[in-house]
Amino acid sequence: MLPTPTALAERAAEVIAEHAREAVAARGEFHLALSGGSTPRLMLAALAERDDMPWRATDVFQVDERVAPDGHAERNASMLHEVLLDRVKPGGFYPMRVTEPDVDDAVDRYVATMESVCGVPPMFDMIHLGLGADGHMASLVPGDPALDIADRDVAMTGEYQGRRRMTLTRPVLERARALLWVIAGESKQSVLQQLLLGDDSIPAGRISNEHAIVLADDAAFGNAG
């Protein structure tokens, strides 16, 4: 439990850097998948300031992305470019190509890229996740068929909050060497309790990964702590 969103962001950045150094020491590289949103912006800004992060050995993928034009303010990639990616090695960022005319082909090509970098089947060293007030993580939202996919690592969703999304699916989330949940705000109290209890009535509660780390600020923990 961290007292403020800033403290939460700094601790999350520290955890990422710790795992990155361990991965590089063990395997020579660090494969990281990042979510978007306001809470991650603080975390990534803190991460960008860390000199103990092995940037030259780090590959960055996206957890999910809205179907919107390149550079659009709603695109997670726009935030990643703005906050973080001047630290990532050239060619080390792998954006989801949601502007392609054939998004299903773009899904297949993203899987192929993941396999070429992270192995077959792809195994990330760390996947960062947020938690929506409706219990969603990545773009796996209540009632969307993508939540039930068990045989593919990337999928397109239906429309959610006005846009379709490309998202990582449960199998690759559960396969990761570590999941890092970073959760902030009073609006998350109820769903955070459900997540901690493994309540599978929310999407986040259906993710089974014994290497999950949950970081939250005081406002999100409320009575859950």
Among 40-54, 81-95, 184-198, the minimum mean pLDDT is found in 81-95
- In percent, the amount of the chain with pLDDT more than 70 equals 99
For residue 166, what pLDDT is reported? 98
Q: Domain segments of the chain: what residues?
A: 5-224
Name the CATH topology of 5-224: Rossmann fold (3.40.50)
- In percent, the amount of the chain with pLDDT more than 90 equals 88
For residue 223, what pLDDT is reported? 59
Measure CA of the first residue to CA of the last residue in the chain; give whole Å: 8
pLDDT in tens, 54-74: 999 999 999 999 999 988 888
Q: Give the CA radius of gyration of the chain.
A: 16
Q: Is 77 helix (H, G, I), strand (E, B) or coil?
A: helix
pLDDT in tens, 207-218: 999 999 999 999
For residue 29, what pLDDT is reported? 98
Q: What is the pTM of this model?
A: 0.96
What are the φ/ψ torsions at residue 23 (nearest 5 degrees)? -65, -45
Mean per-residue pLDDT of the chain: 95
CB 80 within 8 A of CB 47: no
CB 169 within 8 A of CB 146: yes
- HSE toward the beta carbon, residue 183, CA cutoff 13 A: 33
Q: Which of 103, 96, 107 is nearest to 64 (CA)?
A: 96
For residue 39, what pLDDT is reported? 82
Q: Find the mean pLDDT for residues 30-49.
A: 93
Q: Residue 225 pLDDT > 60, yes or no?
A: no
For residue 43, what pLDDT is reported? 96
Distance CA 64, CA 164 (A): 10
Q: Which of 180, 177, 181, 170 is nearest to 207 (CA)?
A: 170
pLDDT in tens, 79-128: 998 898 789 999 999 999 999 999 999 999 999 999 999 999 999 999 99
For residue 222, what pLDDT is reported? 86
